[in-house]
Structure 1
Amino acid sequence: MPDSETWTLLRLVRWTTGYFQDHGIESARSEAEILLAHCLGVRRIDLYLNHDKPLTEAELGNFKTLIKRRISREPLAYITGSREFWSLLLAVGPSVLIPRPETECLVEAVLPVLDDPAGKPKRVLDLGTGSGAITIALAHEHPEHRYVAMDRSPAALAIARQNARTHRVDHCINWFCGSWDAALAPDGPRFDLIVSNPPYIRSGDMAALQPEIRLHEPLAALDADQDGLLCLRRIIVSAHDYLRPGGLLALEIGCDQADAVRSIADDVGCYASVRVIKDYSGLDRVFLAHSS
């Protein structure tokens, strides 16, 4: 970064945009704006309302540090410490997967289960909650229901609980640390809805992922063995033991896994009304099945 001229906000946005483009960063302009606004503690629009404002040496130094982190392909969400999901700003960090827009399709798909105004409070289980994105989105829409969120990572649960407190839904969520259904009793109260965004990437495909994902996000939340079905299979095989008759199992899946998960569900023989919903890009993304 040249030091010969005064660095105003607009000049710095333009320079950073070009620098990010040269280093293969997608959405370079918006990322430059988000990173600078985060560094200065202002809104993105303020960068343009005060476009000719010069930065102090301390501000420039701090921003240079953030630029170096982004060029090393650290995800923007980890640098800023947050990501928006379902119009809710969630805290994120290296112990949790960064929420993706396509996971909002999973939330949309299950909301009708919770929309019954005349029914009694329903019980919802989120397996592998991570940042809590799915459960918190559902609880934000329907705080009258009762939610159980599980994750095997204590660090992930700490972030999820923080997010739930931020959005004032912690009172309707119970948190458990365990791997999938390990903390559940088959003879306990059954759930109306089980939802999960489990790992579903094939081990052989991990090396081809973007460096932001491969080098920084938790691999345990992504890698699902050689066929990509390890976690999906376990959930589908066991979920009917915890669902009430007619209860819904909803899973995010890989775009090429629809036939495989249908086959697993057919082999279990305890599900009906199996269907797959596409995401905003027209790709298979959400698997739905009712317990028979």
Structure 2
Amino acid sequence: MDRRAPWTPLELVRWTAGYFNGHQIESARSEAEILLAHTLGVRRIDLYLNHDQPLCDDELARFKSYIKRRVDREPVAYITGEREFWSLELAVNPSVLIPRPETECLVEAVLPFLDASGGPPKRVLEWGTGSGAIVIALAHEHPGHRYTAMDRSVDALQTARQNARTHRVDDRIVWFCSDWDAALAPGQETFDLMVSNPPYIRSGDLDGLQAEIRCHEPCMALDGSGDGLACLRHIIEVSHRYLLPGGILALEMGYDQRSDVQAIAAATGQYGLPRVLKDYSGHDRVVVMEKLAADG
């Protein structure tokens, strides 16, 4: 990459895209543009509007450091410190899972429930909020409801609160640190809606994940135990204690976990027939279940 003549943005994008391709980095040109735009503090389109503006030595050194980190398989979102979710820019770091597009399907699945007008504000709880992506998206869309979000990671909660402040919804959300429902008291806390994107990857499958995920994202946000169902099972088995009759539980799950999740829900005797929704790739991804009128 070293040479005497100054590097311009267009030349750097071309060179970096080729370098990334040689290291089997997917979306090589797009990621080159994102990292260079981040280096210069501009929009990606500005790289082309100012394609002949040479970089100074400090900018070039910073960009080279980003290239090295990316070739070492650090996710672009952690390098730039942000990821878009639901058209909202969220701060992300290694203490939180990077929000995925398929998780937007979970937000879409519950919006109709929050859309329903009339009656008092609904109470919403997110289990395992991470970056706060889901609860912030919901609070942004429906500011009139009351939101609570928990996580067992203090660092994750700090990130989530930062994101909520950025998007001016922090005053609508109550945050608490807990290992799932350990801090809740049945009968004292009741909610109309519960949502979660819990860990659901089988422990034995973690080593087969992409290095970007396996080596950089928080394991506790991924590992769903031997069968991948431990967290899903726990949430389904306890949520009815805190849901009002007719309340909704909506969960993200693995593409091949539909039958298991439905069986877990049926075994509790607390929910109606779960409804399964597909993600943008056509895979089973979200399960929605309604609490029956009375506990069994």
Q: TM-score, normalised on structure 2?
A: 0.98
- Aligned partner of 1:22 in structure 2 is 22
Post-superposition shift, 1:5? 2.9
Amino acid at match of 1:65: S
- Aligned partner of 1:53 in structure 2 is 53
Q: Unaligned regions of 5+ residues in structure 2, if any?
A: none
Partners of 1:200 and 1:155 in 2: CA distance? 21
Question: SS where residue 182 of structure 1 aligns?
Answer: helix
- Aligned partner of 1:178 in structure 2 is 178
- Aligned partner of 1:111 in structure 2 is 111
Partners of 1:253 and 1:218 in 2: CA distance? 18
Amino acid at match of 2:75: P
- Aligned partner of 1:75 in structure 2 is 75
Amino acid at match of 1:136: I
Q: Unaligned regions of 5+ residues in structure 1, if any?
A: none
Post-superposition shift, 1:113? 1.0
- Aligned partner of 2:256 in structure 1 is 256
- Aligned partner of 1:230 in structure 2 is 230
Partners of 2:167 and 2:146 in 1: CA distance? 16
Amino acid at match of 1:57: D
Tell whether 2:267 aligns with 1:267: yes
- Aligned partner of 1:168 in structure 2 is 168
Post-superposition shift, 1:223? 0.5
Partners of 2:37 and 2:178 in 1: CA distance? 38
Amino acid at match of 2:273: S
Partners of 1:163 and 1:78 in 2: CA distance? 15
Partners of 2:118 and 2:247 in 1: CA distance? 17
Question: SS where residue 254 of structure 1 aligns?
Answer: coil
Task: Kindly provide the CA deviation profile for residues 3-42 of structure 1, in whole angstroms up to 9, marking residues without a partner as x.
Answer: 1432111000100000011011100011000000000111
Partners of 2:179 and 2:20 in 1: CA distance? 39
Residues 186-197 of structure 1 mapped to structure 2, 5 A cutoff = 186-197=186-197
Question: SS where residue 144 of structure 1 aligns?
Answer: coil
Post-superposition shift, 1:120? 1.2
Partners of 1:134 and 1:252 in 2: CA distance? 11
Matched-pair identity in %: 69
- Aligned partner of 2:240 in structure 1 is 240
Count matched residues. 292
Post-superposition shift, 1:273? 3.2
Partners of 2:75 and 2:91 in 1: CA distance? 13
Tell whether 2:219 aligns with 1:219: yes
Post-superposition shift, 1:116? 1.7
Post-superposition shift, 1:2? 3.0
Partners of 2:242 and 2:167 in 1: CA distance? 28
Post-superposition shift, 1:195? 0.3
- Aligned partner of 1:159 in structure 2 is 159
Post-superposition shift, 1:244? 0.3
Q: TM-score, normalised on structure 1?
A: 0.99
